[in-house]
Structure 1
């Protein structure tokens, strides 16, 4: 038998329905509160910005000016200085290269010209003084160090070479090894050995690594450090067997082993 609802019949609210309605009202109230808080926060931010426009604009202006100043300094001060330094060092480089190719008679005078200048151009020492922060000024330390080394001014050579900074594959170890050469000339083999070992380990290539491993081995033999010498010689033999230094390994290896 079918059951029909009477006209005007209203279902009786259940407890569950009451809870749903209450939850909905709570969520609606919470949402409204969140938006009100956001509005209040936005209003406070706007008020703060409005009240602090001047310091904000000043701060932005400082940042912009600093950025423009840096770009301007780089373009109008640093770059021209780099060009000037490169122009000034060019003549010294020519003297230096000619000195390396010259006979002993002319070497000293050419190295001195490289150091002190000629033909109206700065020498390496003036380039260092006037353009110390440039790439050419840094490179001048290397040239000056090698020039001093060749004319027998070993302490000056060490000072210049210590000031030279480079990540170059060849120049960096050459500079370090040249300091070792200067200490050898000063009869300080212990210091020389340390620099030769540093030069050999700085980079791994077929030119500088076996060169300074051999110098380290010979110096170690002189200091009667047979084990150290054998270690350096064995490395040449194992890793750089096609280098010119490898040909002399058997001779020095016998000496090293005889010290142990």
Structure 2
């Protein structure tokens, strides 16, 4: 009997809770529908943005960047940055017109690297610092270029640190020993022979596979060991 009363009580409680829920929904129906509609609209907006605006815009940005990449690969840094005055009007235009796209971010790196090659170090710094990417090659190359710009602008210690950081980030036989040697030479200019020695020793220990750098590294080590 007690069990039956308990079951009846639980059944009544469940019915009461259901009734309250129905009453709440009925009273707040408009607000609930409004919230659901708002969530649906946000999802639809995101899908539309990706499919009909962001996606096509990314494609247009990539097409706009392509001539700069071609000129840069050919070593024509002037045209890569400034354009050819016919169909391609320069990296600054790509960055401004397609701000927020991956191609525009990549254009920051190309712009900074092009200006660094042209010896316009102060202008290059702004673009190199604006680039924000995780690609190993470009992230390390822009960091190394920024380091060389800093050195050429007189901030030798900051530049050397950036070069070492770029070398470690890339960890590549082709690039890392070049940047470490540049950093070592910079530290020598500062009279910091211990740091220069660290750079040169790292080349000898880790990057002996690069003959362009490794073949002379003993001379660099000997010079700072005196």
What is the TM-score with the length of structure 1 in the denominator? 0.80
User: Is the 1:173–1:208 Cα contact (8 Å) retained in structure 2?
Assistant: no
Q: What is the match of residue 146 of structure 1?
A: 113
Q: What is the match of residue 220 of structure 1?
A: 187
Equivalences for residues 1-260 of structure 1 within 5 A: 25-98=1-74, 100=75, 110-118=76-84, 119-244=86-211, 245-258=213-226
Give, in whole Å, the separation in 1 of the partners of 2:128 and 2:134: 14
Give, in whole Å, the separation in 2 of the partners of 1:122 and 1:79: 23
Give, in whole Å, the separation in 1 of the partners of 2:96 and 2:175: 30
User: Is the 1:116–1:126 Cα contact (8 Å) retained in structure 2?
Assistant: no
**C-alpha displacement at 1:144, in angstroms?**
1.0
User: Is the 1:116–1:123 Cα contact (8 Å) retained in structure 2?
Assistant: yes
Cα-Cα RMSD: 1.7
Give, in whole Å, the separation in 1 of the partners of 2:64 and 2:39: 36
Give, in whole Å, the separation in 2 of the partners of 1:167 and 1:210: 21
User: Is the 1:213–1:233 Cα contact (8 Å) retained in structure 2?
Assistant: yes
**C-alpha displacement at 1:95, in angstroms?**
2.3
- Say which SS state the counterpart of residue 206 (structure 1) adopts: coil
- Say which SS state the counterpart of residue 132 (structure 1) adopts: coil
Deviating beyond 6 angstroms after TM superposition, the runs of 4 or more aligned structure 1 residues are none
What is the TM-score with the length of structure 2 in the denominator? 0.91
Count of aligned residue pairs for this structure pair: 224
Deviations 1:30-58 (A, max 9, x none): 33322221211111111111222211111
- Say which SS state the counterpart of residue 216 (structure 2) adopts: helix
**C-alpha displacement at 1:27, in angstroms?**
4.0
Give, in whole Å, the separation in 2 of the partners of 1:148 and 1:185: 13
- Larger radius of gyration, structure 1 or 2? 1
Give, in whole Å, the separation in 2 of the partners of 1:76 and 1:122: 26
Q: What is the match of residue 19 of structure 1?
A: none
